[in-house]
Amino acid sequence: MDRHSRRSFLRLGGVVATGAMIPAYAAHTGIGRHEETASPKSASHPPADPLTALRHRWRDVTAGSGFDATAEPYRTRLARLGTRAAGYRDAMAPADASLWPGLPFPSLGATTARLRAMARAYALPGTGLTGDANLAAAVATGVDHYRRRVYAAGADQVGNWWHWQIGAPRNLLDAALLIGPHLTGPRAAALREAVDHFVPECRLDDYEGTSTGANRVDLCVVTLLRAVLGSDPAKVALAVSALSPVFPYVSEGDGFYRDGSFVQHTTVPYQGTYGASLLSGLATLFAVLRGSPWEVVDRERQVVFDSVERTFAPVVHDGSCMDLVSGRAVGRRPYGDHDRGRAIAAAILLLGETASAAERSRWQGMVKGWALRNTHRPMLDAAEEDDLGFHARLAAILDDDAVPAAEEPAGHRLLAMSARAVHRGPGWCAGLSMASHRIGHYEHGNGENLRGWHTGSGMLYWWADGHGDQYSDSFWTTVDPYRLPGTTVSTRRLADGAGEAWGDTCPPGRWVGGATDGAYATVGQHLNGFESTLEAFKSWFFLDDAVVCLGAAITATDGVPVETVVDNRRTGAPLVVDDGKGWAHLEGHGGYVLPCGTRLRTLREERTGGRERATRSYVTLWLDHGVDPVSAGYVYLLLPGASLAETRSRAADPGWARVLANSARCQGVRVPSLGITAVNFWNDGAAGDLAVSAPCAVLVRETGDGTATLTVSDPRRDLDELTVTWNRPVTGVSRGHPLLAGATTGARLTLTFGRLAGRGGGSNTVVVRLG
């Protein structure tokens, strides 16, 4: 269907439904139109019972609305849903140990998902089974049979708690609400009793354990559905009030951080999966409860709206969510990063319906830009497969010329509290994952991500034009897990699932983070190898067209070689290496510059892995530090997207980036053409024109207009005072900082900062006038 024809039936803003979809549903369920979608006459007579209105609203928001069921692609998708539901109905054969042959109990996920799909086919228009009483009766029978045989009050949980307290009850309650009067009386009461057994109200008493962050939101959703099924206004109020601990910023543990970090499982950055689930759940609850007596009005809910641009947008690149914030989920399936990005986009557009007009406008432009740039897994086509409501919203903004597509925002975002960094330059993007005393090396659990050991050892992801699927297409199941790009690792062999599960793999290193002025950044990691004696100091300096990478004091006694993996690209592209002149170039990807004479090891191989037994091509570049190195080091430049000529040119200009220091005391560079001096001080000391009184990160940028910015941070988060001296003439301070306790200008500049420890590793910028 072309864009002009779609405009005839799509409308964005609010939850909309066309006349083609409401009458059948209303006739068979007794549920009329929501006031936002009704005719003017009916809009003046909304349902008298607020709980009935919530049931209507839940169906509109979650089952799908805002599209014409007679138009493509909806007609085909709805018909397919109907065919699938009919197949489930016809194959249903309730028995002691199953509801469907070949799907033995408990089958908490698959069985309840089938019941929910059948209920959706009943509730949605155009399925061929809309309002079909026999289908609804089959759903009711299935729900009650499953409740009696598996999900019964008094039964014991077996296996993962999540399925019993979130996954299964949400599917069962959703199905019950969608079929309305076909599951009432004793059967509805028994289902409510079962849910109360597995999800008692006390689960919402304390904000701790498995009742935090995304899990808390999911538990509130289940509680809301249970309340609606039982017409229990007090329980609705509980579901809403129990959301409040999710909103405030946190300084440790699960939740949103002021710097944009989001953490789940205490030590795992998790904007992907858990974060997407949290955002989707809150967007759904805000939309369902809007205008009701239980509307979410907590003042701190603005944190959720702010998180769209502060927390989620930085880690979405052209519609895919970076794997560095997806924990154990990274290898679940090919293109999982695009699936997670699409889930975030869907949540953002739904959240926009309860946001301010200005926020909604910005978000629509942002999502539109993602969708237009995502050519590897087109977002609109994928949305057609799994979320018709999102498809309708996305199609509307794609067709709306008044919504400009936003470009990728240039600059740097340092998420210090989650040991992550994201940088965007012209035509490229990079993401960095590190481990610290508060963030684990990796997460495994439920048999997932068993070889992600080294993802926290400085893994540097990067995307150039045309390579948005670099880590999407079976990367995690085929890459060499000992040679992840950017990492410095001991090659000691590790067991699958080594270390504690659920991200409890934090090393002792505290100096992890850096400083950024929003455009450029200096980032560092005091690395303690995973289950290894390896120790090293690693720094990255993020610039316009390059990342300068330094390593120092690389030491280990594991009795095996230690390597720094310059890169490991999933490609079969030609590689050209000139050790004598200090450069390498990977066609169509980018270039690498190293000191002349550095021996760059390379390998081209085909690797096969995963359940699908996929085979992918790799080009690996690494530096061999030898067995049990003592104070080894490295220097190299990564040039994302650079041509062969550009790579040669940069290699021929060794003064472009000058290394000021590369030791266990500090690592720093000077880039004269950009006016940048950047140093990670692991201890007090001096490098170039900079001297400091304590461990810190310092980024200086001379802007060319007679001023300079000095940005400092306390990555260890323990400084009560810091003095920074810059050996340059300065006439005055143009803009200070609340923590700037003193400044001395003249032949050199001395700045004294107060308690940086309370800034969460955040950057603090002062602007000065040069002499």
From CA 695, how far away is CA 51, in angstroms rounded?
Answer: 58
Catalytic residue among 257, 274, 442, 482: 274
CA 605 to chain centre: 31
Paired with 330 in beta bridges are none
Q: Are 330 and 442 in contact (CB under 8 A)?
A: no
- Between CA 316 and CA 319, with CA 318 as vertex, the angle to 5 degrees is 65
From CA 648, how far away is CA 216, in angstroms rounded?
Answer: 54
Catalytic residue among 34, 171, 215, 634: 215
Residue type at 6 in one-letter notation: R
State the DSSP H helix or E strand holding residue 70, giving kind and residue range, or none if neither. Answer: none
Residue type at 466 in one-letter notation: G
**Does the annotation mark 274 as catalytic?**
yes
Catalytic residue among 28, 145, 182, 265: 265
From CA 419, how far away is CA 440, in angstroms rounded?
Answer: 9
For residue 477, give the 3-state DSSP assignment. helix
Which residues, including other chains, have CB under 8 Å from residue 216's CB and lie 6 or more apart? 204, 207, 242, 243, 245, 246
In order of 99, 101, 145, 146, 534, the CA distances from 93 in angstroms are 6, 7, 10, 12, 58
From CA 725, how far away is CA 590, in angstroms rounded?
Answer: 37
Say if residue 675 is exposed, middle or buried (CB neighbours under 10 Å; 0-12, 13-18, 19+): middle
Which among 524, 459, 439 has a CA at the least distance from the CA of 695? 524
Compute the Cα dihedral for 77, 79, 81, 84 and give only its sign.
negative
CA 600 to chain centre: 34
Tokens read off for 318: 């052209």
Strands (E), 589-721: 590-593, 601-609, 614-627, 632-640, 658-662, 666-671, 676-681, 685-687, 690-692, 696-702, 707-713
**Does the annotation mark 249 as catalytic?**
no
Which residues, including other chains, have CB under 8 Å from residue 7's CB and lie 6 or more apart? 399
SS3 content of the chain, % helix, strand, coil (to 5): 35, 25, 40
User: In this structure, are strands 740-744 and 749-753 parallel, antiparallel, or unpaired?
Assistant: antiparallel
Say if residue 44 is exposed, middle or buried (CB neighbours under 10 Å; 0-12, 13-18, 19+): exposed
Q: Are 369 and 301 in contact (CB under 8 A)?
A: no
**Does the annotation mark 215 as catalytic?**
yes
Which residue is listed with tokens 């090396």? 441
Residue type at 328 in one-letter notation: R
Exposed e or buried b per residue across 292-322, where buried means at least 16 C-beta atoms within 10 angstroms of its C-beta:
eebebeeeebebbbebbbbbbbbbbbbbbbb
Which among 315, 310, 314, 339 has a CA at the least distance from the CA of 325? 315
Which residue is listed with tokens 């190293």? 594
For residue 763, give the 3-state DSSP assignment. coil
Q: Are 752 and 721 in contact (CB under 8 A)?
A: yes
From CA 80, how far away is CA 64, in angstroms rounded?
Answer: 15
Paired with 577 in beta bridges are 584
Exposed e or buried b per residue across 229-253, where buried means at least 16 C-beta atoms within 10 angstroms of its C-beta:
bbebbebbebbbebbebbbeebeee
From CA 626, how far away is CA 269, in angstroms rounded?
Answer: 33
Which residues, including other chains, have CB under 8 Å from residue 493's CB and lie 6 or more apart? none
**Residues identified as active-site:** 215, 265, 274
